[in-house]
Amino acid sequence: MRELDACFDAFRKMTMRGMAPPPTDIELSPQNGRALLTLADHGPLTMTDFSDRLGVPLSTATRMVERLIEKGLAVRSRIEDDRRVVRVELSEDGRKLNQSFAEHRRAMGRRMLSALTHGEREIFIELMTKMTRPQ
């Protein structure tokens, strides 16, 4: 078990270093980065759905969205059928920043997998898929 713990720890450290966002003029906290990724993966969302996806109270989600809007990364709108419902989605700048982050993550993945042979990469991906599949 110690070997497994050491491997997980080394993997975590490597991915944390590699997952640091690429340099940008926009300062993003980890919480706002998570909000940006949530909108990129699931948006546009109503504010209620957004807060549910993040697992935070609606008031916290609202503050997170406000920060993204202030940075020009998100836009808020009303749904025509029910003007009480607020929807949020990434702005064009938010989509560009998310694309930059995605390219950075893919490059990190390529660097990590480059140490493996083709066959080892296939086995690794198969095992990771199996381990991360919802139960």
User: pTM score, two decimals?
Assistant: 0.74
Q: How far is CA 68 from CA 26, 62, 91, in A?
A: 10, 10, 9
- CATH class of the domain whose range is 2-132: mainly alpha
Q: What is the amino acid identity at position 35?
A: A
Peptide bond between residue 44 and the one before it cis (omega within 30 degrees of 0): yes
φ, ψ (nearest 5 deg) of residue 117: -75, 170
pLDDT of residue 132: 87
Q: So what's the pLDDT on residue 22?
A: 62
- pLDDT number for residue 21: 59
Query: What is residue 33's predicted lDDT score, i.e. its pLDDT?
Result: 87
The pLDDT averaged over each successive group of 10 residues in the chain (135 residues) is: 83 69 74 92 94 95 95 91 88 93 86 91 91 84
